[in-house]
Amino acid sequence: MTEALSITASAIDPGLLQLPWSLPLAQWPSRAIVSLPKGLSRHLVRFASLSGRVVAVKETTEAMARREYEMLGNLHRLDVPCVERVAVIAGRTDDAGLPLPAALVTAHLRFSMPYRALFTQVLRPDTADRLVDALAVLLVRLHNVGFFWGDVSLSNTLFRRDAGAFAAYLVDAETGELHENGLTPGQRSHDLDVARTNIAGEIMDLAAGGRLERGVDAIEIADRLVASYRSLWTALTSQESFAADESWRITERVQKLNDLGFDIDEMSIRTTADGTTVLIQPKVVDAGHHQRRLLRLTGLDVEENQARRLLNDLDQYRARISRLGSDEEMAAHEWLTRVFEPVVKSIPYDLRAKLEPAEVFHQVLEHRWYMSQERGRSVPLAEVLSSYVHDVLRHRRDEATIMGPPTETTSLPLLSPSDDEDDGRDWRDLV
């Protein structure tokens, strides 16, 4: 008997056995493959369908696959945004009994896109800014838990829409290291150097392909990542000192971090020997301030900026409907059932794969604002919704699972213009 296939997974999905492991990934039949945009990579990565969901399969060595599998598990436990691990497949052989590479299987992150698929023709400066700002937040969060990435780049990151901004997820943990006692300034700056070089290279690459808006500077974009990272890192970690009678500064610091989307789980507060000066420094911070509040109040689990946006609407609703007094939870429940859910449910079925519900809600709010501006008066929600569905949403591509043609030669459907310049895909990145 030949060597047996070995599957490592925390929850064994019997569907894993149905995938054609005895074929090299490059030769998997198209019925097993799902066409989705993907970033540039060293290894062969393809998407496959597994028990009704989409997974990414990466062929690599067994040691690398296991290491990355472990790392993704650790990062998941540490609650940083990364792709979810599914399995490591080792001991693969082809029909002639010859060994095949091991495979790392991860869950395809729904509604996520590689950076090259976020815009149709050219990358515009504001989109580039939003991309690197999102990556900076991710890098701060990773460093905050002691993760040294080693290969920070746009290609190793996935992006999801987040109420006008982006939320970044780590996709490639192969070079990463976890340091229990935190990172040294040297390790952090090494990651920043790598990020800067990689991003500049990736943007220059776009420029070479005619996909960068004229006048946009690759180095400036790469530098913005560093600046954005530094300002966030300083806000999260710096020590502040003030006179003993200015204790409100403590609340101010907490508030400032909350506004940036972080909670302080532990803060060190010390006074000087003479008791005149107070020193404060956040020790343990946790991202997801607005996400947690929204989840607690409504059970909705969304991205940070989406949560901020939804909470804003909820707070406004609560202020308007004051008969419920100050009971936040009651008001949240009422807002959920009377405002949020009706909007989401009013989206026709055939359009529901276009955007996540929270992103749709955010866009409806934006649309309402534009319509009211235009007309100089407030517009009823029903009217806003029907205009949004017909004039905006219907013209977007599906982002839940962007199904592309199997080969580049297949004729492409014409993309309709939409309200958003970042609306298209890079067919060259399709499998």
Ligand X SMILES: Nc1ncnc2c1ncn2[C@@H]1O[C@H](COP(=O)(O)OP(=O)(O)O)[C@@H](O)[C@H]1O
Tell me which residues touch ligand X (CB under 6 A).
Answer: 38-39, 41-43, 45, 56, 58, 83, 106-109, 112, 114, 155-156, 158, 171-172, 174
263 burial type by CB count under 10 A (0-12 exposed, 13-18 middle, 19+ buried): middle
Question: Least CB distance from residue 270 to ligand X, whole Å?
Answer: 43
Nearer to ligand X, 156 or 228 (CB): 156
Only segment of 64-72, 152-160, 196-204, 275-283 that touches Mg ion (CB under 5 A): 152-160
Nearer to ligand X, 113 or 314 (CB): 113
Question: Least CB distance from residue 427 to Mg ion, whole Å?
Answer: 20
Amino acid in position 204: M
Nearer to ligand X, 68 or 289 (CB): 68
Q: Does 429 bind Mg ion (CB under 5 A)?
A: no
Among 2, 41, 121, 231, interactor with Mg ion by CB under 5 A? 41
Rounded Cα–Cα distance for residues 84 and 108 (Å): 8
Query: 3-class DSSP state for residue 181?
Result: coil
How many of the chain's residues bind Mg ion (CB under 5 A)? Answer: 3
| Of residues 166-205, those binding Mg ion (CB under 5 A) | 172
Amino acid in position 277: T
Query: 3-class DSSP state for residue 430?
Result: strand
3-state secondary structure 253-311: HHHHHHHCCEEEEEEEEEECCCCCEEEEEEEEEEECHHHHHHHHHHCCCCCHHHHHHHH
Residue nearest to Mg ion as judged by C-beta position: 172
109 binds, among Mg ion, ligand X, none (CB under 5 to 8 A by kind): ligand X
Rounded Cα–Cα distance for residues 153 and 172 (Å): 9
Question: Least CB distance from residue 24 to ligand X, whole Å?
Answer: 16
Vertex 276 angle, CA 272 and 281, to 5°: 50
Q: Please give the sequence-ordered ranges of beta strands (E in DSSP) within 43-122, or none if there are none.
A: 45-50, 53-60, 85-90, 102-107, 112-113
Helix (H) or strand (E) holding 242, with range, is strand 240-243
Rg, C-alpha atoms of the chain: 24
Question: Least CB distance from residue 172 to Mg ion, whole Å?
Answer: 4
Only segment of 155-163, 185-193, 345-353, 367-375 that touches Mg ion (CB under 5 A): 155-163
Nearer to ligand X, 158 or 385 (CB): 158
Nearer to ligand X, 336 or 430 (CB): 430
158 binds, among ligand X, Mg ion, none (CB under 5 to 8 A by kind): ligand X
Rounded Cα–Cα distance for residues 84 and 104 (Å): 11
Rounded Cα–Cα distance for residues 358 and 306 (Å): 6
Q: Are 401 and 55 in contact (CB under 8 A)?
A: no
Nearer to ligand X, 108 or 309 (CB): 108
Residue nearest to ligand X as judged by C-beta position: 39
Nearer to ligand X, 18 or 41 (CB): 41
Among 60, 120, 144, 156, interactor with Mg ion by CB under 5 A? 156
Query: 3-class DSSP state for residue 60?
Result: strand
407 binds, among ligand X, Mg ion, none (CB under 5 to 8 A by kind): none
Nearer to ligand X, 65 or 332 (CB): 65
Question: Least CB distance from residue 311 to Mg ion, whole Å?
Answer: 35
114 binds, among Mg ion, ligand X, none (CB under 5 to 8 A by kind): ligand X
Residues that bind Mg ion (CB under 5 A): 41, 156, 172
